[in-house]
Amino acid sequence: MTAGGPHLETSETQPAAPAKTAGPATGRAYLATIEGFVGALMMFVGSIGTGWIANGSPMIRQPVVIALRTEGWGVTVSTVLLTVGAMVLMRSWLRLGQRLAEWGASSLRSVVIAVSAWSLPLLFCVPVFSRDVYAYTGQGRLVMEGQNPYEVGISTLSNWFSLGADPAWAEARTPYGPYFLWLARGVVGLTGAQPDAAVLLFRLLAGAGVLLCVIYVPKLAELHGINGARALWIAVANPLFLISFIASAHNDALMVGLAVAGVYFAATRRYLLGILLVTASIGIKPITVLLLPFIGVMWAGPSASWVRRFLIWAATAGMSFGVLLLSGIPYGLGIGWTWAIMDPTPGYTGYSPSGFLGQQVEFLANSLGLPGGTLATWLRTAMKWAAIGLVLLLMFRGDYSRAVRRMALAFTAVVMLSPIIQPWYILWFLPFLAVTGIRDDWQIRSLYVGVTFFVVFGAQDQLSVWSFVELPIDASSLAFITALAFTFYLLFLDVHTRKLLIEGKPLDLAKRGWRWILEWRQAKRNRIEEPGRQKLGSR
C-alpha cells in the first residue's frame, strides 16, 4: 500500500469495483491494437499530402510530396487517408475498451502496448490538426536572439514565415512558461531552427509528457480504488490525446504529464516533490497554477484548522512562485508568463458552451431590438466568474479524501466555462477525472461524444491545401463528409460500437422513430381538434 492510499477515495459508489465498458467482452485485445496501428499508418501517409509543412523544409521539394500536395488526386487521397485513419483509430479505441471490458490483471499491459503501437506512426507524421509546433521554433529563436517572447511576436525575426508558423502568431506574445522557452531555445540551438528536425525534437518532448501520463495515471488511479488500466485507456489511449499530443506535438502533453506526476507525489505525501513537479508544469503552461491550492489541501491534512490551511496555501504558493521568479532571471524573461493568466486571449469559439450560448443570446436579443453583442459579452463574462466561484467553492468545501476529485472538477469548470476551448483543452482535466472515476453511464458516453466531435472537427478544420490545387470537392468538405459518414457507421451500423451509445438494431430504431413521429402527429391533431369539440359542447 502506498503512503497515500488509505486517505484517498473516489466519487464512485463502489470504488474498488472496476467499471465495465458496454459491449461484448470478446478478449483478443491485439486485434484492436493492430486496427489502431493501421489507422495511425493511414494518418501518417495522409499527413504527407495535407499536413503542415514549413515553406523552408526540404521535404517540400521531394517528388512524392510534390505529387501528393499539388495534384488533385494526391490531395484527395491524402485527405481521405488522414480522415479515415483518424476514425479507424477512434474505432480501435472503442473496441479496445470493449475487448478489455473485465479489466483483468493483464489489461494494463494491453493498454500500454496499444498506446505504444498507435503512437509510433504518429511520431513521424507531418504536423496535423494544428501547426502551433512551428511557432515554438520561432519563440526559441526569439530567446536565442536576446528578445523577450512575452513582449514581442515572432514577426520580429527575419524569414519567420518560412518556418511554417500561423500568421496569427506574428504579433502574439507567447502564453507559455519560462521552462518551455528554455526548451525551445535548446531545440533551436540543436537544430539550427531547421523545421523538420525541430518538429521531431518538440514531438519527443511531448512524448516525454505522454510517457509520464502512462506511468502515473495508473498509479494515481489505484490510489483512488480505480482500475489503472481503464483510467489509462480513458485518459491516454483515446485518439484525441494521441493525435493532439503526438501528431500535433503540443507542449500541453509535457504540461499534463508533469502535473499528473506532481499530483501523484502529493497524494502519496511527498508534498515538496509534488509542488516542484507542478511548478515545472506551470513553467510549461501557466494554466496548471490552478492545481496548487488543492496540493495545499492535501498537505494540510484531513483535520487541519483554517489557520493551518491558509498557512499551507501560503507556503505552497510561496515555494512555487519563488522558484518561478528565480527561473525568470535567465534570458531576462522575468515574470512575463503571468500575463497568460491575467490577460487571457479575447474572443470565443462557437462550440464552447460559453460561445454557443452567447451566440444564441445575441441572436435572440438582436431580433428583439436589444443590444445582443453586449448581452452576449455579459453572459460570457458571467460564466468565467462562475468558474472562478466554483474553484473557490471546491477549494474551501468538500471531503478531504476527495481532494483530487475536487481539483479535477475545478479544472473542468475553468476549461468548460471559458469562452475559448481548443480541442486539446479537454485533455488538461481528463486524466484527473479518469483517475478519480468516470462511470460506465452518461459520463463515459459524454466522453465518447466529446472525443468523436473533436476528432471530426480537427479532421476538417486543419488541412494544409494550396489554393491553386483544383479539386472536385473542397478538401475540408471531403474530410467532413468522410468523418460524418464514418461516425454514422460507428453509431448505427457497426454491430459492436453502436452498443456503446444506443441499444437495438438500425431497423428497430427506425421503426421506433417512425412510431414516435406518428404519435407526435396524432397528439398534435388531438390538440387542434379539442378546441372545436369544446365549442360544439358549449353550444
Q: Which of 303, 267, 340, 313 is nearest to 8 (CA)?
A: 267
CA distances from 3 to 8, 182, 212, 213, 267 (A): 10, 34, 20, 20, 8
Q: Cβ contacts of residue 525 below 8 Å, gap of 6+?
A: none
3-state secondary structure 98-128: HHCCCCCCCHHHHHHHHHHHHHHHHHCCCCC
How do the domains of the chain map onto residue ranges? 506-538
3-state secondary structure of 352: coil
| Cα gap 93→218, rounded to integer Å | 17
Nine-digit cell at 82?
488522414
User: For residue 60, with 0-12 CB atoms within 10 Å meaning exposed, 13-18 middle and 19 or more buried, which class applies?
Assistant: middle
Measure the CA–CA gap between 76 and 80, rounded to whole angstroms: 6
**Which H or E run includes 376?**
helix 372-396
Place of cell 509542488: 275
Provide the angle, in degrees to the nearest 10, between the axes of the packed helices 132-144 and 178-191.
90
The residue among 57, 167, 83 whose CA lies nearest residue 487 is 83
Task: Identify whether the C-beta of residue 118 lies closer than 8 Å to the C-beta of residue 92.
Answer: yes
Distances (CA, A) of 234 to 208, 243, 259, 429: 19, 14, 17, 12
What's the CA gap between 285 and 289, in Å, rounded?
A: 9
> pTM of this prediction?
0.89
Instruction: Find, among 102, 99, 51, 39, the residue nearest to 75 by Cα.
Output: 51
Identify the three-state secondary structure at position 193.
Answer: coil
Per-residue pLDDT of the chain in tens (539 residues, 90 and over written 9): 333 444 455 444 333 334 444 444 456 899 999 999 999 999 999 999 999 999 889 999 999 999 999 999 999 999 999 999 999 999 999 999 999 988 998 999 999 999 999 999 999 999 999 999 999 999 999 999 999 999 999 999 988 888 888 898 999 899 999 999 999 999 999 999 999 999 999 999 999 999 999 999 999 999 999 999 999 999 999 999 999 999 999 999 999 999 999 999 999 999 999 999 999 999 999 999 999 999 999 999 998 999 999 999 999 999 999 999 999 999 999 988 887 776 666 778 888 999 999 999 999 999 999 999 999 999 999 999 999 999 999 999 999 999 999 999 999 999 999 999 999 999 999 999 999 999 999 999 999 999 999 999 988 888 999 988 989 899 999 999 999 999 999 999 989 999 887 754 555 555 555 565 555 556 545 554 544 444 434 43
Residues 47/441, Cβ–Cβ less than 8 Å: no
Cα end-to-end distance, the chain, whole Å: 83
Q: Cβ distance 354 to 380 under 8 Å?
A: yes
| Dihedral sign, Cα of residue 396, residue 397, residue 401, residue 407 | negative
Phi, psi of 473 (to 5 degrees): -145, 140
Measured in residues, the chain has a length of 539
Distance CA 133, CA 45 (A): 19
> CA dihedral defined by 137, 143, 146, 149, rounded to 10 degrees?
90
Helix 195-223 and helix 426-436, axial crossing angle in degrees, nearest 10? 20
Distance CA(120)–CA(262), nearest Å, equals 26
- Picking from 459, 440, 387, 449, the residue whose alpha carbon sits closest to that of residue 418 is 387
Q: Could you tell me which of 488, 485, 483 has the C-alpha nearest to residue 81? A: 483
* Gyration radius of the chain over CA positions: 25
